[in-house]
Amino acid sequence: MANKIKKGDEVVVIAGDHKGSKGKILQVLRNKNRVIVEGVNMIKKHEKKTQDNPQGAIVEREASLHFSNVKKADLKKS
């Protein structure tokens, strides 16, 4: 990864449907060149019925983005 993004960094999405969104990196998937950004690219996931969750559920969670679509946010404000 050329831009040295790591978990916990504050980033801005620079391309795609979520362009302009800011968030913190929750996870870096290095083998797939993707990142998961907090609150960005939300998807609905259907969960099966289990003993813990007898009804099943539809949960919203973050999907991954390609790392080339994000850049580190400027912490300096001029």
Query: Residue 1: its pLDDT value, please?
Result: 44
pLDDT at 71 over 60: yes
- CA atoms of 68 and 35, how far apart (whole Å): 9
Q: Does the predicted TM-score (pTM) go above 0.85?
A: no
Backbone φ and ψ for 49, nearest 5 degrees, come out as -70, 135
Coil vs helix vs strand at 64: strand
- For residues 40 and 3, the model is more confident at 40
pLDDT tens for residues 22-55? Answer: 999 999 999 999 999 999 999 999 999 999 889 9
